[in-house]
Every structure is written in structure tokens, then in C-alpha cells.
Structure 1
Amino acid sequence: MQTKFTNSKVLNLALASASALLFLVPTLSAIALTGNSNNSEKNISQIRDSFLVAQANCPTRRSRVDRTFETPNYYVTICSGDSQNSLGYYVGAAKDGSGGITVPLTRRSGDRYIAANGNTIYAVTPYELRVSRNGRTILNERILAVSGDDTFSARGCRNRESTFVTAETANYIVSICGGDLPGTYIGESKNGSGRIRLPLRNYGRDRFVAVNGDTRYILTRNELRVTQNGRTILRETVRNWN
């Protein structure tokens, strides 16, 4: 795949000129992340700091915006497919204006979108943006907001619901939602493979319990534990609690 480099000066000019913008946005080519280097650690550092180096814009007139995601430092746009790439495109841009990248999607699975540029993989869900290289995570940021989804907000609760707690473990995001009081447990795997929404059975201070048949979901500030017929089948430490 042929790569093209841009810098912040070119990007600033592109923002001021529609014709320059159209010229800079690639169609199928992924924007290069780093130059050649014999030092892999230096490469990883470069990608972590500036893995987005092109303008965030759908690459062709026939591809439209399907969804957008926002993290603390980046914007990601998922564009629909066209005759050149039926799955669509992953388009990202750094908030500080340092650049962006446009890459054809390689997979769409529910709320999970994956794109690849050589051995660098971009994966975004309504809960996280993860970039990995050679199987090693080099960037992982939480999603702050999602557009293009009228049913659920980025944190799992419905748009008109209150969010009481959002907890993150290594593999899951759990939201406690409700009205004036907590009433619903929502759990979703970070890889987008599944979501469950259950009424709370009971709750106390920093402890929430939901039940689905013989399966019990217990969330506390310290851990997420799932039991089945009294036997623990999953236990993960809570990394973030909001």
C-alpha cells in the first residue's frame, strides 16, 4: 500500500482551502505512521504520539459518515463503503491538529470497526479506541462520545436515562442506569462481541447485583464477578470507576 506524508503546516493550509483539503484526503492509501527505523521502541513511541496524520474526512463523494467517536485526544469517523471498498473506511484525526489517517476497514462486527495498515491495527467500539502493532497495544483511549447511535450513549445507558456508575475492567464496560434511582445493569464486552441489559435485583453502597436465570452479575468498586449456580465463572478487577 502506497503511503503519503503530510505535516501540520500542510494540514493548516488544508483547513483554509477546500481544494487543498480534497487533494490531501486519500482514497485507498493509508497515511504512513512512521518512517523506517531500526529501533522498534522508537517506532512505537512515534506511533503513540502521532499515529494519525491526515484529515478526518470521508475519502470519496459516495461514502457518507456512518458514525463518529471521540476520545480525549482523537476523533474517529466511520465512513460507509463505496465501489472501491465495500466495508467502508476508518478516518481519524488528532484534536491538536497534528494530523490524521484514512484506512479501508477490514472488518465490521456489530459496534466494532477494524482497519489495518500493514502490521498496525486500529479497532474502535463505543467504549474504546485501541491501536496495536505486531500484537502489542500502543494506544488505548476511552470513548467520550458517539454519534450516529440514537439508542445508546457511549456509556451504555439510553439517552434519556441517568448514568449512576460506569466501571471498566480488562475486558468489559459495565453501566448502572436508571431514573431517579439505579434500576438497570448493562454490561458489554470491549471487543463488541456481546451486550446484556438486566434489571437490578438489589443494590447498596457501591454494590450492584443483577440476575439472569442461574447467572448472577455482581459489580463493586473492586471487581466484576459473574457466578452461575453459585460457581464463579468470571472475576475481573475494576480499573476505572466513574
Structure 2
Amino acid sequence: MQLKLNNSKVLKLALASATTLLFLAPTLGVKALSNSEQNGTKIRDSFLVAQANCPTRRSTVDRTFETPNYYVTICSGDARNSLGYYVGAAKDGSGGITVPLTRRSGDRYIAANGNTIYAITPYELRVSQNGRTILNERILAASGDDTVVTRGCRNRESTFVTAETASYVISICGGNFPGTYIGESKNGSGRIRLPLQRYERDRYVAVNGNTRYILTPNELRVTQNGQTILRETIRNWN
């Protein structure tokens, strides 16, 4: 797909950064947002802007996502591409890109633009080029069917911990005290919700049959029949 750049100034900026180039072409009518709008905008409010960016009138908004720096819209299919479209737009209004989807699998959407692959789930946006990840951002919010979907703890629950590894997002939820372990795979393949067996300081343990989930600020470790089957370092702990 050939991409058009707004002007020579944008061209110079795009050439200065290969990563930025992915989202600086083309603008597709994306509205520039002021600082106050950026800070206060909810993903539900972006539906009208997102709808304007779907490539045809028959292509409507299926899902919208927000990362720290981008809005992403998944548009429904049309006669040109039955799977639909991936529409990415920079929050600073500098540009956007529309790419046909090549795969939809549950909450995972994949689009390809030459050797550049865009993959988005309710947990992360990952862009790779020639098999190498060049951009990875967590999802701040996601919506579908005009209903905001929040990951992790339920609306009426307290969130005690949110942790992130290379492959998972883990939440410790409860009321007045921690009571629930929630593990979600970033690729959208699975989610588990378990009562905590015990917790002490920053160590949380949940059990599902002979499988044990142990979360600390340093690592997520999963054991089965006493044998470690997964161990990943904690990247973020909040």
C-alpha cells in the first residue's frame, strides 16, 4: 500500500526515525488534539474520530484501543477486504496509517504492510519489522460494541497490584484485602481468575489443582506438581 505524507516537514521528521515513520504516514483525516484534550480524552470519546477514519462508509468501528502514544481502530470488513482494517493514529495528530487485516483471532488482530506487522490485543500493541520488534506499548483502554472493557480487576473491586511480564499481565484484586489473582496472556489466548491461597507482604500465591502461581515484585513463577513450568521476570510493578 502506498503511503502519502502530509508535507515536506513531516517527510523530514519521518526520515529521522524509522519507528516514527510507521505512524507518520498518512494522516487520513486524524484530528490533532490539544494537550488538555489528550490528557482528558477517554477511548469512548474517540469513537466519532475513529469512525471518520474507517476507509469506507460500509466499514464501521469494531474495536478501539488506546496506548500511551497511539489510538488504534479495528474497522469491519467491506467488499475490498472482508477481514477489516487496522487504523493507527498518533495522539499528537502527526499522522496515521490504514492497513488491511490479515488475521482476526478472538481479541487478537494482525495487519501486514509489506515486511511490517501490526499485532494488537487488549493488552499490548506490538509492531515488528523483518521479525524484529520495533515498537511495543501497553494498552491503556480498549472498547468494543461501545462498551469500555477494562482489563484486570472488576469495577467494584480494589486493585492491589498490577504486574507485567514479557507474556502476561497479572492483577491482584479484592475488597478490603487482597483476595483474587487474575492472569491474562498478552496475546489474547487466555485468562485465569483464582482465589488467593495466601499472601504476605509482596508475595501472592494462587492454586488451581496441582498448578501454583507465585507472584513477587521480581518474578512470576508457575509450578506444576512441584516442578517449575514457567518463570518470567517482572517488567512493571504497580
TM-score by length of 2: 0.81
Tell me how far 1:156 sits from its aligned partner. Answer: 2.1
Q: What's the counterpart of residue 129 of structure 1?
A: 125
- Counterpart residue number, 2:228: 232
Deviations 1:75-119 (A, max 9, x none): 001111122211111101001111000111111111111100000
SS at match of 2:229: strand
Counterpart for residue 3 of structure 2 = 4
Q: Select 1:47's aligned residue among 18, 21, 28.
A: 18
Structure 2 counterpart of 1:142: 138
Residue 179 of structure 1: CA displacement? 2.5
Deviations 1:220-241, CA, capped at 9 Å, x for gaps: 0000000001111111110110
Separation in structure 1 between the aligned mates of residue 18 and residue 156 of structure 2, nearest angstrom: 38
CA distance in 2, matches of 1:203, 1:68: 36
**Residues 8 and 78 (structure 1 numbering): CA distance in 2 closer, same or farther, change over 3 Å?**
farther
Matches within 5 A, 1:215-226: 215-226=211-222
Aligned to 2:208: 212
Q: 1:62 to 1:221 in 2, by over 3 A?
A: same
Change (3 A) 1:179 1:50: farther
Distance across 2 between alignment mates of 1:235 and 1:75: 32
Q: Please tell me whether the aligned partners of residues 152 and 158 of structure 1 are also in contact (alpha carbons under 8 angstroms).
A: no
Matching of residue 183 in structure 1 with residue 182 in structure 2: no
Amino acid corresponding to residue 21 of structure 2 in structure 1: S
Tell me the amino acid that sits aligned with residue 6 of structure 1.
Answer: L
Residue in 1 that maps onto 2:44:
none
Amino acid at match of 2:100: P
Q: d(CA) in 2 for partners of 1:175 and 1:113?
A: 24
Distance in 1 (alpha carbons) for counterparts of 2:164 and 2:219: 9
Q: 1:112 to 1:219 in 2, by over 3 A?
A: same
8 A contact 1:151–1:159 mirrored in 2:
no
Aligned pair count? 211
Cα RMSD after superposing both structures? 2.4
**Aligned counterpart, 1:194:** 190
Give unmatched runs, 5+ long, in structure 2. Answer: 29-49
Tell me which of 100, 116, 129 is aligned to 1:104.
Answer: 100
Task: Name the SS for the 1:51 alignment partner.
Answer: helix
What letter is aligned with 1:132?
A: S
User: Counterparts of 1:109 and 1:186 in 2: how far apart (Å)?
Assistant: 22
More deviation, 215-224/108-117: 108-117
Distance 1:8 1:152 in 2: 37
Q: What is the alpha-carbon distance in structure 1 between the residues aligned to residue 80 and residue 68 of structure 2?
A: 32
The question of whether the paired residues in 2 share the 8 Å contact of 1:8 and 1:97 is answered with no
CA deviations on 1:130-187 (whole Å, 9 max, x unpaired) are: 100000011111111112275840x322233322211111111111122332221111
Letter of the 2:141 counterpart: A
Equivalent residue, structure 1, for 2:67: 71
Q: Among the aligned pairs, what percent are the same residue? A: 78
Pairwise mapping of residues 11-26 of structure 1 onto structure 2 (< 5 A)? none
